[in-house]
Structure 1
């Protein structure tokens, strides 16, 4: 859970990932925010356009069509692997989907079947349309698949998410089939490898990653029963990554005993004992945990 990325930061992180980015018309102020909330954001959703041709696909992504005004996504990824940014804010791409899927994305757990349409996805997901007819025959060039991987990894890295925060439209909304032509499990594997520093499946020289920004220590008093913050979610995900997770469900935004036990395991891992390993974060252990900045 996090605040949406600003337009300037979106351009910065995508280019830092090695992507060619095109800014389309007035994309920085082009959105559907007047029709509903935008954020908190929880994940990245991948689609195919059911169109051919870059220019036509980008225009539809920006303008929409009769009955469904644009933007229809935040970016269009063409077959060359270029990213065309067409919207910044709420976009008409996800529609209503399964609230159980959203909870799994937030908790970064296995996705359940999408058998309901009870939750507004346009509020919670960045959306990227990929130029492809979606007929199972139109090819997916490696440059395009690598761009999907890079886009998703850049956003996940910024928010401190793992590859489990990336889903396909077909995993969200009953009856949808996009993206068709590659598996989302395979794409998540590529994203996971990139986030771990191994690059993806595309080869070539991997650009230097953007300089990470970490959440400053909020003070020990911040961590108390009833406290809710995306900082706690980000902390929990780092604890899981360090092998210290003691969660049956989550991590989530509310401070719980599972967070305390997980943090105590981290303190023990660092060599702290006694009252120094009581599960309440201190400055030294917090700075060593390197919790991603969630304030943007």
Structure 2
């Protein structure tokens, strides 16, 4: 069981991992904590945005659409590899997912199929939205993939987690496909190798 990082520790961990971090507005206090608890945290969830254009993407992830108020994540990783912090605390990113997947993440074991959706993931996961159309054709620049790797590794390093604490939205909630365009197995290998340093 891990308590969520403070906003300052979150920012420092990302920078210490070598990331370029952009602080957006009052991100340290922007959250959905009034809708439910935040923590304990058990892992990191990776998403794609289905958007194009960094400024538009960051704005959307900070504010959210009318039907799903923001923040929609904690950090937005744009194609240039920068991490834009848009929230700290509970965020509308994970939704309901599979309790068996959560148990596997906590135990850092192989993930089972996600076939139910009745567990509040917004409480338990840090979330990074990554700028990409999610159509399988929009490219993932290496600088962006490296930023995803570094951001997830930074949080794993802080909490003493392995790469098995990092999952994709598609591994949590039935019907989700994100992130599309790279595999989470491959990303976890990258994170594992980084954590050896």
Which TM-score tier does this pair reach, normalised by the shorter chain?
over 0.9
2:27 aligns with: 27
Pairing 1:77–2:77 present: yes
2:17 aligns with: 17
What are the superposed Cα offsets for residues 44-74 of structure 1, whole Å, 9 maximum, x if unpaired? Answer: 0000000000000000010000110000000
Pairing 1:140–2:109 present: no
What are the superposed Cα offsets for residues 24-57 of structure 1, whole Å, 9 maximum, x if unpaired? Answer: 0010000000000000000000000000000000
2:125 aligns with: 125
RMSD across aligned positions (CA) = 0.3
1:2 aligns with: 2
Q: Tell me how far apart the structure 1 counterparts of residues 11 and 128 of structure 2 sit (CA, whole Å).
A: 14
1:38 aligns with: 38
**Structure 1 runs of 4+ with >6 Å offset:** none
Q: Tell me how far apart the structure 1 counterparts of residues 91 and 85 of structure 2 sit (CA, whole Å).
A: 12
Q: Which has the larger radius of gyration?
A: 1
- Aligned with 1:60: secondary structure? helix
Taking the TM superposition and a 5 Å limit, the aligned residue runs for 1:258-277 are: none
1:68 aligns with: 68
- Aligned with 1:84: secondary structure? strand
Q: Tell me how far apart the structure 2 counterparts of residues 38 and 169 of structure 1 sit (CA, whole Å).
A: 18
2:166 aligns with: 166
Q: Tell me how far apart the structure 2 counterparts of residues 84 and 114 of structure 1 sit (CA, whole Å).
A: 29
Q: Tell me how far apart the structure 2 counterparts of residues 18 and 62 of structure 1 sit (CA, whole Å).
A: 23
Higher relative contact order (CA 8 A, sep 6+): 2
- Aligned with 1:117: secondary structure? coil
Q: How many residues align?
A: 197
Q: Tell me how far apart the structure 2 counterparts of residues 142 and 172 of structure 1 sit (CA, whole Å).
A: 25
Taking the TM superposition and a 5 Å limit, the aligned residue runs for 1:1-296 are: 1-197=1-197
1:270 aligns with: none
Q: Unaligned stretches of 5+ in structure 1?
A: 198-296
Q: Tell me how far apart the structure 1 counterparts of residues 96 and 10 of structure 2 sit (CA, whole Å).
A: 25
What are the superposed Cα offsets for residues 185-212 of structure 1, whole Å, 9 maximum, x if unpaired? Answer: 0000000000011xxxxxxxxxxxxxxx
- Aligned with 2:123: secondary structure? coil
- For normalisation by structure 1, the TM-score amounts to 0.66
What are the superposed Cα offsets for residues 116-141 of structure 1, whole Å, 9 maximum, x if unpaired? Answer: 00100000000000000000000000
Q: Tell me how far apart the structure 2 counterparts of residues 30 and 3 of structure 1 sit (CA, whole Å).
A: 18
